[in-house]
Structure 1
């Protein structure tokens, strides 16, 4: 009887021990499963962050390439602008020299006019003297006849008066020759002056034409925006100054997300096809088109880097979707498209206060060829 009781107690001990070990094993298995699940989640997050880092690195390299291109373009534009400045300085210098020469010519002509006036006055005096001599001669002849002077005295007087007349005639001839030479020089100077004035007027006219041509070149941006407005009409509302297309981020994305909403893709496709289709097909716009820029913008809530990352990812998401459309493949838009995040640097303000709903947006804008050079040339032409 006692042996059977001892056996039952031993069996219960081992059963309890087995249950305890089974429970510990179960807990161990649960712990291992939790560790494995946590490891898988951490690896997934790590891969996601690596992919995001790779994307940011790619965007950074792309922006560095664009920055290099912009730097080279700016250097070339500065060189062209410097050449224009040198050409304008030389033209101004030539005009100044020509004006100085014309001033000297004008003074010389005035001096010749005074000399010519003096010569004419002297000629009139000599003519009057000749008339007086002739009158004296007549009076002398009359006096000789009346007084019946001797023939020898009369001849002497006649010879004397004839000699005076010859001298006066010679002086008058010399004065006439001098006057003719001065008239000839005066005529040559007047012709030279007319020629200089014609060249000066031609030079000024050419400068005005060049300035008008450059002004016309710098006005291309306004012409392109006007053509874009005319083509789109009331279909799409664009910015009046820059010609950009603005789309609210609240419609395209959820708060804090960079994933496009499915119902927003239809609206984005329609707006994109109307806007971009006009840019790449309109003959008044297409020859001047350089790049199509997709910019992401946020409000000032949160840090700068967080908003910069969010705006870049949103701009990239829009560009990635647009590249899947048929219009992008039809017109080979990939080389034209650029995605850029601006964080809250270009927030929209109304009366000095940020409009956060309007600031959260996607802008699709265009850049023209040599646009930076146009702005610099326009500044030089408008400078006083």
Structure 2
């Protein structure tokens, strides 16, 4: 059997459906309100943002206007300052105009002076042209003298070279024979100790002195009389020296006797080492001198070394050594002439006499 439905059950279902529908409508309304509020809020935010942007833009424009206003104020101040400067410059220009007028007058006066100086310069130019011709003639003369000096210098170099060769040949020859001698590397002078050659205060050769001379003199003379050098040889000189003790006259005689004893010994033995033609050549160029106590030898402390001062020196002189001295005198004279004929002295002639001319006067 079926039970009968109660009326209350049907009414209850309708109300429930109605409440569900109203709940849905309410929910829809709430959603619409939310969307509306969201859009309203968004519109409000956009409006605020736009308002803020307009305010910021307005502030920016305001700042720019203020900056421009400040710039205009500065420019106005600058223009005012420039106006003041222009006024000051106008005054200065007026003053300058007066100065220029005065300077113009001065320039006109200077122009007249320059014209006068120009005339003087033209006259000096003519003088300089004349002096130039003289200088060219002097230059030609100097060129000739220069050529002559170069030729003379070559002769001097040749003579100096020959002497150096002779000294070197002497040193080599003595070294070859193992002879330890005191020979000057510059002059070729051979120094013989008188203490070995002679007894004290004597002028006669000792046996040891003769032995020394027999080894030394032949070597020395053979080199000098060699065919390569004898044409240049002027003298073979034997010089005697004493110490500083005693009387000058006595020492002079003693030094002469000692140098003469060495020369005599050389002449006695010359035939033993020289050819007949060389013997005569030796005799023709041999010179003997005595110097007494002159030119003493000093030790390291500057005191007279008496043992070393008692000596005999054998040396040589080339024929052209005197010519070297003459050439040097000529060259010095030519140098003085060149300095006197130089352009500087010529310039000094254009304004007055040179200092050298004044000294000659």
| TM-score of the superposed pair, with normalisation by structure 1 | 0.45
